[in-house]
Amino acid sequence: MNATELILKKREGKSLTESELRFLVQGYVDGSIPDYQISAFLMACYFRGLAKDETATLTRLMLHSGTVIDLSDIPGIKVDKHSTGGVGDKVSLILAPIVAACGVPVPMISGRGLGHTGGTLDKLESIPGFRSGLSIEEYKNVIRKTGLVMIGQTREIVPADKKMYALRDVTGTVESIPLIAASIMSKKLAEGIDALVLDVKTGRGAFMQSLEHAADLARIMIDIGAEFNKEVLAFVTDMNNPLGVAIGNWLEVVESVECLRNTRGTNDASSDLMEVTYTLAGAMIMIGKKAGTIHQGITKAREAVHDGTAYAKFLELVEVQGGDRDAITNLERYPVSRFSLEVKSAARGTLQSIDPLELGLTAISLGAGRKKVDEAIDPKAGILLKKKMGDSVLPGDVLAMLFTDREEILQEARERIRNAFRISQQPAAPPPLIVSMIDQKGQRSWPPK
């Protein structure tokens, strides 16, 4: 076969056979097909799409490009959660220890930041000493010991996706439903799960900005799960505003720890974050047979936070994976950015919305994300929101704080952040955070009527 001919075939909108897709995937993994040709193939997929059987085949080929982990010797129903990516979305850091504290094993292989969205792996690695690059044997030992494990892709796990994931991030091919589905499901199927709960974001700060596309992506991943005999349950959640108050890796760890400590309260600016977290955790606890319904699972999740067992589980995870426990118990000792700047309002009124896409892109310019595959991240950099949707605003009120080591970006970043806040004289009602729930039976509203 010839890679150029296959690129042309897909460019013309034709379906590739299993052997043709295998040729491309294996060739990219072994180095016989270069980045620039796979970039062209990914762009053709972006514009022309992949048929349902092509998507399933690509998932299977990427899954078996490396090792598929077997966790059958570990008791319990192993359940993971995955988000399609959002701005301020640090749910995994809070959810995983909650669910594990409720007795459901959570094996989690996470990714790095993609496009304007943050990555769980980058957030975890902002914790001094935290090891995300465990071997497969270490991965098994950690989940056996603690009930959860959070790592990145190793060389053995889905190497095809590991390379394509990084390439998509910098070639403008992220927002492709079949490529997203194949990437997510190949990783999740490789980690040894029995079931999966999906958080499919929709809105301005999501890759799937329309509700229709978000639901399509959820259904494709549910269908892929069924082919591999895995139960998959999806929630479509709103991403028209940032989630929580922190955007940036260490800043998001701090907010997550404060939520796990239950020191932020139930009606503060992180309440939207915790509503999504508790819903997803409740579903995982139900699927893991530790609750009869999602609502019973939500109750158990809340109890795990309130009684401190979830926070204790997070500390245990950090310690077992080599992280500095003292950095978590004494958050104020972490290094600070060279520059911080208040972003103040020039208007009076009610905060109607905060553009999550603009804040995500600005956070990258501050150093919290990547513009190139090999670019280093500044874990300290980011944005801290001081106002949320629906809040009253007066001239001079602080809307947000920015943190960076890059002096040259300060003024531009301040204006971009200020312009992301839409203020008017009209009242603002926050939209529902959980838009709908989708499983093999179909899509329905949430909460159930």
168 is an active site residue: yes
Q: Which residue from 46, 47, 67 is spatially nearest to 161, judged by alpha carbons?
A: 67
Tell me whether residue 161 is one of the annotated catalytic residues.
Answer: yes
Cβ-in-10-Å burial (0-12, 13-18, 19+) of 405 comes to: middle
Quickly list H helices, 207-270.
211-227, 249-260
Of the candidates 163, 168, 201, 416, the residue annotated as catalytic is: 168
Distance between CA atoms of residues 44 and 217, nearest Å: 19
Residues 6+ apart with CB under 8 A from 246: 88, 90, 252, 254, 255, 382, 383, 384, 385
C-beta of residue 393 within 8 angstroms of C-beta of residue 350: yes
For residue 61, CA distances in Å to 84, 177, 182, 226, 415 come to 21, 17, 10, 17, 46
Residues present in the chain in total: 449
Beta strands at 246-247 and 382-385: parallel, antiparallel or unpaired: antiparallel
Question: Exposure string (b/e) for 330-367, b if CB count within 10 Å is 16 or more?
Answer: eeeebeebebebebbbebebbbbbbbbbbbbbbbbbbb
Choose the catalytic residue: 89, 122, 161, 397. 161
Catalytic pick from 183, 256, 353, 436? 183
Among candidate residues 60, 81, 163, 187, the one labeled active-site is 187
133 half-sphere exposure, CB direction, 13 A CA radius: 2
Question: What tokens appear for 406 in the block?
Answer: 């890059």
Q: Which two tokens stand for residue 112?
A: 């790095």
> In the numeric block, which tokens belong to residue 337?
């950015």
The two tokens of residue 422 are: 């839409």
Looking at the annotation, which residues are catalytic?
82, 161, 168, 183, 187
